[in-house]
Every structure is written in structure tokens, then in C-alpha cells.
Amino acid sequence: MASGVTVADACKKVYEEIKKDKKHRYVVFHIKDEKQIDIEVIGERNSTYDLFLEDLQKAGPQECRYGLFDFEYTHQCQGTSESSKKQKLFLLCWCPDTAKVKKKMVYSSSYDALKKSLVGVHKAFQATDHSEASQEVIEEKLRSTDRQ
């Protein structure tokens, strides 16, 4: 909490709804009044990754955001003929290069507070442009943690 920004209780509640109840596909968080991380958008369970990226960036090219996504993919272990469905929660800190330095600093320094409050997130990433946040790149990073 180096930045002094706190995490709203609603963030933890919606996180549990995604993690345990599978009610939503994703949530986008923003820092409100430079004091508290709060919910901006909640994505329905049938939402796509493209919609998530759209919501993450809809505030504009100078705005940073955090996003939590319940990522699903199929994985086939070596030596087996069946593939299994995997689900991994990941947290993304979106700080585009075009954002103001002060905003990037506040989001970066508050990221740890959010990560600590959302216990059980599989991976945390930071992205500054579309190539770093693409579905292919994120899926590759998540798959790299699977057992072969």
C-alpha cells in the first residue's frame, strides 16, 4: 500500500463471485479519486476476451486500469489422448505508454495492494500495449505453467 490506495470491499466480493461461483467472466477495476480501487465494469459469463480488452481500454488511451479475467482453455498432458479444460484467473495491470506518468506511477504502486487482496489469482501481468495483452500472449504465459 505504498501509494495509500485501498481496495474496496466490492472488489473482493466480485472476485469471489468469479472465483467460486463462476458468475462473471471478468471485472475491470479503476482507481477512484486517487484513493480507492473500485469496480468499473463486470463482464457477463459468456463474454469474450476481446470484450474484456475493449472494456479495459474504453476509458481512453491515457487511462490505466486493472483487469481480472477467468481464462479457459484446453490442455493435453503428454502421454494422454484426452484433453482437459483448464481455468486460470489472471490479473492484468493495463498502463498504456500514452498514459500520464503520474497515473502510471499510482497504478503501478497500487498493484500490489490489489494482488494481495485477491488471494488465489494464478498469474499477474503488466501490459503497456495491445501486443502484450493479446489473447495469444496471455494464453502462452498461462500454458507455460501447466505440467507437461
Q: Determine the residue type at 30.
A: H
Listed by start position, the domains of the chain span 4-143
Give the pLDDT confidence of 32-65 residue by residue, as tens digits. 988 999 999 999 999 999 999 999 999 999 999 9
Q: Give the whole-angstrom CA distance, residue 112 versus residue 4.
A: 11
What contacts 147, CB < 8 A, 6 or more positions away? 77
Q: 98-123: per-residue pLDDT in tens?
A: 999 999 999 999 999 999 999 999 99
pLDDT band at 148, cuts 50/70/90?
low
Count the Cβ atoms, other than its own, within 10 Å of residue 128.
16
pLDDT band at 1 (very low <50, low <70, confident <90, very high): very low
Report how far residue 49's alpha carbon sits from residue 52's, in angstroms, rounded to the nearest whole number.
5
How far apart (Å, rounded) are the C-alpha atoms in residues 41 and 47?
Answer: 12
What CATH number belongs to 4-143? Answer: 3.40.20.10
